[in-house]
Structures are given as structure tokens and as C-alpha cells.
Homo-oligomer: A and B are copies of this chain.
């Protein structure tokens, strides 16, 4: 794949300069069109050390309005970053609609570096490739333009440049140990890079190999590719993309209408058992913390089903330094203008921590679906996107537990009425709750579909029968405890 660069035909100096001027002018005009059309553009620069990525980045952005782009230089992940799923540090950087992100080195560098340093086995490599492909497709499916450049120079050219840089103090700092190692092991690196490009070049986000021997010629290749890419993306407004067949193992789940809500627990038994379970959970949480196991608990459920009280019984068993409750409201403008899962990626716990989401990324297939806040294709695609998201978390080592806090329609009415009639509870009931209640049947269809399509074996849904809130609380605690015991391999 890298060898393709030989096919590029460098124009004569005058033509090159003319085309370069044209491309810069065009890109300057495009930034406003991107803004108007809400197109986010992610541009990744990868390639050999000393191939000129930094310099070229400077040239590409020279005429752009600084309000319209961000440029980041990624290095190998820090210890702190290693406590998050592999994709986190890339996913959290994705641009807002209408803006550029230029990334100097990224997921390719991280993966290839580990391969070259013999720190990644073939199985993990394959897993990473899968993650990368899903990550990039997730972006392009959601309207992002993703352009990936690999800056290529020969071994001889690299050697020459490194020697030049090392000659004077002013530039010697630019050369790091890996650059020298890379040049010494050029053939091995070539093979690794070439395989990575092959493995991750897809129709929707192909790689472009840039002949980087001449800076100006490299600049033209990049500029023209960016300009053509943006033109293409601007034409494809609100693309509908193929739905992919689910590829994850699912558990068979009951429909909500099949759930027996008459289950309950004796108040005395409840008190005792609650205490015992909380003590047990406290202990397990400490062990999970020491072992670095992250736990993600997702709460969804009907209004007034008792989510808040349920969460409270869980958290009161936990060390406050080791958990966070994350309430999810409707997305803010800066969240809405990114991939719908972005606001959850930025809220992931560190290893060893609990993250309890009070409402979640499932809003996409419930409220956003029913209120028309996204297109049909958007929410239909979301089942798979969510399964993929949770797969990343699971591969990272997280325990994922999803609760649907369930009550029947009558119970909701009783609780709404009580709230309305109790002054200190009135803040808990709004007009929106009543409006949502009117849409109960439509919600039930959506929830049934959601539970059927996203109950993967690695992140299953659990239905908490919450007509008796006590029953639901004990059940939640037991499920969390079971999962921790399993992950910690104790019983």
C-alpha cells in the first residue's frame, strides 16, 4: 500500500505553485461552508519520523481562521490515559460540527509502536484493528469527514534528515530515540506500517499515502485531497447509511408486558438484607478498586419508577472517592454538535472506579427516537453503535450493568398524584412527566426493541420490578454483587 505513492505524478514547479494557490483559496472558502453545513472534519497525520508532519500541518492551516480548527499533537498515552479504554483519548478529541481537528499522530502510531516494541500480541492487534475500523465508521456514519494521511519518505531520506537535525543544537531536540530506532529498523517498520494501512483503509475513510520528499509537493497532495474530500462531504448532506447486522451475542429477554410486577419483599426482611448486601458490596468495591476493575452502571426506567432511591442505596455502600453518579440531561449545544456518544466517552470512569449513569446513551433510541430529535436512520443505527461502544468498554475490562427500573402505568399514576399532592415532592413532577406518560405505549414499543437489541452477553439489561421499590433495590444490589464476584473470581 505504501508503495502506491510511486504512482503520484509530481507536476512542474509552476503548475504546482498555481494549484497550491488555488487549493488554499478553495479551503479558505470551504471553512465557511463547513460552518454553515455543520460538517465536522477530522484530519489525521501519520508517517515516518522527520517526514515533516509538523511543518506541513503549519502550512495547511496557515490561511484558516483559528476559530475553525484545533490542532493537537498526540504522543504515546500517559499513565493516566492508560486507565481509560484505548479509543478514549481519540474519541474525546473529535471536532464539533463545522470545525476541523488536525491530529498529529494518533491511533496508528500508538498501535504500531506497541507492535514494533513487541508489546502487542497478534490477538490484541486484531482486536485493535476492529476497534479502529468501528471507530472510524462510527464517525463517518454520523456525518464526519475523516481524512487520513501517511507521510512517506525513504530510509535514505530519513537518515539524511535526522543527521541534519542532529547537527545543530537548535534542532537536535526534535529527534527522539524512536526516530533513530525507526531508521535503523526501517524495513521492519515499513512492513508494520504497510500492514496497518492495508488493515484500516476502507471505502468511507481511506488512507492517502503522501510522497513527502519535497515539502511543497507534499503540501499540494494534502491540500488537494482535503479540498476534494470536503467538497464530497458537503454534497452528501444527511446521509442515510446501511444498517449493519448485529454481530454481538445477545441474550433473549422478556417483553415488558411479560414481566411479573407483583413481586415484593417484607419490610423487615428488606432492612436486614439491605444492610447485609451493602456491607458485602462495600467490601467487593474495595477489592475491585485494588484490582483496577472499572464498573459502569446504567439506569433507565419510567418516570417515578424509583431510580433515584435505587441509586442511593447503591452509592451509600460505596467509598465516595471511588464512585461518581452522572446525571444525564438533554445534550448541551456543544454536545449535540458531536457524535451522540461523545458526551459519554468524556465521562468514563478510571480503572477501579464506579460510574453510575442516571439516564444514559439510550436516550437516542427512546426520547430522541420518539420526539424526532434524530433521523430514523440515526436511531436505527444506534443499536449497533451502542453495542459497539459497550464492546469497547467490555474489552477494556469494565463490568457493565444496565438496569431498566420498571413499574406499571397505574403505579406511575399513583406516584405522580402523590407527588402533585405533597408540597415537598412537587418539584419532582413536571408537565413533561405528564406528557411522557401520554406516550407510554410508544415508549413501551421502543423500550422492548431497545432491550431486545442491546442485551449483549457482555452488557446485559436487567429489569428491576419496582412496583415495590424495596424489592427493586435489593435486586439491584444483588446483581451488582454477583457481577463483582464473578469478575473478581470469588464466591
Contacts and interface: CB of A to CB of B under 8 A. Distances in A.
A5 to B, nearest CB: 9
The quantity of this chain's copies bound in the complex is: 2
A244 interface: yes
A291 interface: no
Interface stretch (A48-56, A161-169, A227-235, A297-305): A227-235
A250 interface: yes
Interface in A26-55: none
A137 interface: yes
B240 A203 contact: no
Counting chain B CB atoms within 10 Å of each CB, the highest count among A7, A137, A236 belongs to A7
Interface in A190-226: 202-209, 225
A246 B206 contact: no
A116 interface: no
A7 B247 contact: yes
A232 B236 contact: no
A441 to B, nearest CB: 16
A325 interface: no
Contacts of A245: 4, 206-209, 225
A250 B203 contact: no
A444 to B, nearest CB: 14
A9 B235 contact: no
B248 A7 contact: yes
A204 B203 contact: yes
A244 B377 contact: no
A242 B137 contact: no
B7 A242 contact: no
A242 B232 contact: yes
A488 interface: no
A346 interface: no
B6 A249 contact: yes
A442 interface: no
A243 interface: yes
B242 A377 contact: no
A109 to B, nearest CB: 20
Interface of A: 1, 4, 6-9, 137, 140-141, 202-209, 225, 228-229, 232, 235-236, 239-250, 252, 377, 380, 452
The 5 closest A-B pairs by CB, nearest first: A235-B240, A7-B250, A4-B247, A208-B245, A7-B246
Given A229-B242, A235-B240, A239-B239, 19 more contacts: A4-B245, A4-B246, A7-B247, A7-B249, A7-B250, A8-B246, A9-B252, A9-B452, A202-B202, A203-B203, A203-B242, A204-B204, A204-B242, A205-B242, A206-B244, A228-B380, A232-B243, A236-B239, A236-B240
19 contacts: A4-B248, A7-B246, A7-B247, A8-B246, A9-B250, A9-B452, A141-B203, A202-B202, A203-B203, A203-B204, A203-B244, A205-B242, A206-B242, A208-B245, A209-B245, A225-B245, A228-B380, A232-B377, A235-B240
